[in-house]
Structure 1
Amino acid sequence: MSSQLALVKRDTVDVVADKVRKFQERGEIHFPANYSPENAMKSAWLLLQSVQTKDNKPVLEACTRDSIANALLDMVVQGLNPAKKQGYFIPYGKNLTFQRSYFGTMAVTKRVTGAEDIDAQIIYEGDEFEFEVIRGRKKITKHKTAFSNIDDNKIAGAYCTIYWADGREYTEIMTIKEIRQAWKKSRQNPDKEGSTHNEFPGEMAKRTVINRACKAYMNTSDDGSLVMTHFNRQDEAIAEAEMEAEIAANANGEIIDITPPVSEKVEQGQSQASPEEPKEMRFDDFSDDIPPVGQAGNGPDSW
């Protein structure tokens, strides 16, 4: 290992590992029996050495050590491992972020809520589909399809249900219009010919409704645990990193107001930040003052 990599590892991986050990010692975090934070960190470190920015620069050189450490901490606290495709490290300018895959979102949801299973299904044109609303919660009462209805060009919508062993259920339903509206926020340009969204609309629709269901249910919880703090922090961290990257890219150009109006923010489901909120999250912010399990957290709403 080069001296530069060794220095980055000392200032990020080793520091995060030490913080995680302290969280465990104080009983602020408990990992599943089959999860090893040490192994997850090793997998992440090996992966990070091959991740590059869009300018083909290694992220371990181009990104700040604070952002690298925060990304690693977000991954470990949520009990995720990139080797299992539960998340990805994505750079935005000088900021590295950890973004959960929908596999990762399901894993965290099961861990935090004790859910037994999470299932998503596509609704095709011609399907017999019915649901009812009981005390504000949707419940699928009928979904009958036919083999001839299965056609990615005739998707009418999708739904996802979270199941518990005691018989409880939580369901989210999305129309294809809502799904496509969500796709428009993707950085992958879903309207482009040959994009994953166009090539596999059924699977992408399932992924979208799974993320919606898991995030919606998780955010109804008043759980102020360390896991929920990092679960909710992801969207804010990504938004801030994107904003900083865009500002940096246009630093030498004409200054324009890229802040969407309040109505647009509400329409997109984004929370409005208080003027007193800090615009930059430093790794030091995740120190010994994080509330223990059971106390109210300060993670922002997401999705």
Structure 2
Amino acid sequence: MSNAIATISQDIYGTRDSFASVLTDRTLNFEREAGFAIQTISGSDYATGIALKNRQSVVNAVTNIAAIGISLNPAKKQAYLVPRDGRICLDISYMGLMDLAMSTGAIRWAQAELVYSSDTFALNGFDKPPTHSCNPFSKDRGEVVGVYVVVKTADGDYLTETMSIDEVNAIRDRSSAWKAWINKKASCPWVTDPGEMAKKTCVKRAYKYWPKTERLEQAIHHLNTDGGEGLQFSDKPQHDAEMAQRWIDQVVRAESQDALKQTWQAALAETRQAKDMAAYNQIKAAVANRKQELDAFEEKTLEGDAA
């Protein structure tokens, strides 16, 4: 296999210029990523054979590392090179997707977890993290009933997305990778790592509500096309401008801090149900502005009373 590895190594190092031309994250080092790629492919005779039969797929995969800005460093667990459908593909983990969002400043942190039947799980409001209680050392937490991802935005807000296991499996059943398993018994991540894929599915739906980042959009597009996952969601968040303006008008008319708080809580409930982040952000800005006005008015009133 030494000649095969030499050929693959030559192909990978031949991408140096194209790697540099599309690089989106300057912290990525070509030499290190090339080394990780060679190590991954050479670690499996099957992967080596696929790489030799489809050498262009190796070139494409390594170039995509630079274009998306993700690392093959096994310690980070962000991305992997995997043989699939007769080619070498760049596969991005759910942790890689969350790291992309964090590295661009769209969110401060993110966490995705599976929920089992013996766990206790509760949502605590639109802008608060959920409560998830479990015994992580239990040998039997029951079957997986759902998955969630919670993030903290740059503004300090919490956003939570949940999916039942039935919703996850419905998405899985539509993916080309799962269909290949059903029809041809071609192994795929849905078979080998169902928990990780459930988390990734939830992240891919949740990101629609996060502040936008081009690199994350590109990564998910890659997974849905070149990655063969095909996890497209039709339930994109819609913005209800009339709802937003209605609540903003009520915020402006609030004459006390208590009235403002009650209005904000009611607005949160409706925007959460509608999953309208644009409306949420607009109303939140109006609340912050009105709070400053009320604070200034109360301070001026106190100064007048003191005089």
Give the TM-score range, shorter chain: 0.5 to 0.7
User: Which residue is equivalent to 1:31?
Assistant: 26
User: Which residue is equivalent to 1:109?
Assistant: 101
What is the alpha-carbon distance in structure 1 between the residues aligned to residue 40 and residue 113 of structure 2? 33
Cα displacement (A) at 1:71: 0.9
Can you give the 5+ residue segments of structure 2 that lack an aligned partner in the other structure? 235-307
Residue 58 of structure 1: SS of its match in structure 2? helix
CA contact (8 A) 1:126 1:149 kept: no
User: Which residue is equivalent to 1:256?
Assistant: none
What is the alpha-carbon distance in structure 2 between the residues aligned to residue 126 and residue 132 of structure 1? 19
What is the alpha-carbon distance in structure 2 between the residues aligned to residue 229 and residue 197 of structure 1? 22
The one-character-per-residue Cα deviations of 1:179-209 (angstroms, maximum 9, x if unpaired) are 344455565969x9xx99899xxx954x345
- Please tell me whether Structure 1 or Structure 2 has the larger radius of gyration of its CA atoms: 2
For the structure 1 residues 80 and 176, does the alpha-carbon distance in structure 2 shift closer, same or farther, using more than 3 Å as the test?
same
The one-character-per-residue Cα deviations of 1:208-254 (angstroms, maximum 9, x if unpaired) are 453134323445555445x6434422320133xx9xxxxxxxxxxxx
CA contact (8 A) 2:116 2:143 kept: yes
Within-5 A mapping of 1:131-170 = 131=123, 134=126, 140=129, 142-143=131-132, 151-164=140-153, 166-170=155-159
User: TM (normalized to structure 2)?
Assistant: 0.56
User: Which residue is equivalent to 2:79?
Assistant: 87
Can you give the 5+ residue segments of structure 1 that lack an aligned partner in the other structure? 243-264, 272-303
Cα displacement (A) at 1:6: 4.2
Residue type at the aligned position of 1:15 = G
What is the alpha-carbon distance in structure 1 between the residues aligned to residue 138 and residue 6 of structure 2? 56
Residue 59 of structure 1: SS of its match in structure 2? helix
Residue type at the aligned position of 2:9 = K
Cα displacement (A) at 1:72: 1.1
For the structure 1 residues 66 and 127, does the alpha-carbon distance in structure 2 shift closer, same or farther, using more than 3 Å as the test?
closer
User: Which residue is equivalent to 1:17?
Assistant: 16
| 1:66 counterpart (43, 53, 56) | 56
What is the alpha-carbon distance in structure 2 between the residues aligned to residue 229 and residue 213 of structure 1? 17
Residue type at the aligned position of 1:61 = L
What is the alpha-carbon distance in structure 1 between the residues aligned to residue 214 and residue 154 of structure 2? 24
- Number of matched residues? 224
**More displaced 10-residue stretch of structure 1: 145-154 or 110-119:** 145-154
CA contact (8 A) 1:41 1:76 kept: no
| 1:48 counterpart (31, 36, 41) | 41
**More displaced 10-residue stretch of structure 1: 83-92 or 124-133:** 124-133
Q: CA RMSD in A?
A: 4.2
CA contact (8 A) 1:31 1:79 kept: no
Residue 90 of structure 2: SS of its match in structure 1? strand
What is the alpha-carbon distance in structure 2 between the residues aligned to residue 73 and residue 147 of structure 1? 39
| Structure with the larger helix share | 2
For the structure 1 residues 51 and 142, does the alpha-carbon distance in structure 2 shift closer, same or farther, using more than 3 Å as the test?
closer
CA contact (8 A) 1:124 1:151 kept: no
Cα displacement (A) at 1:174: 1.3
The one-character-per-residue Cα deviations of 1:133-158 (angstroms, maximum 9, x if unpaired) are 64xxx755555567999843254323
Higher relative contact order (CA 8 A, sep 6+): 1
The one-character-per-residue Cα deviations of 1:12-40 (angstroms, maximum 9, x if unpaired) are 3233221222345xxxx2334xx433212
Residue type at the aligned position of 1:59 = I
User: TM (normalized to structure 1)?
Assistant: 0.56
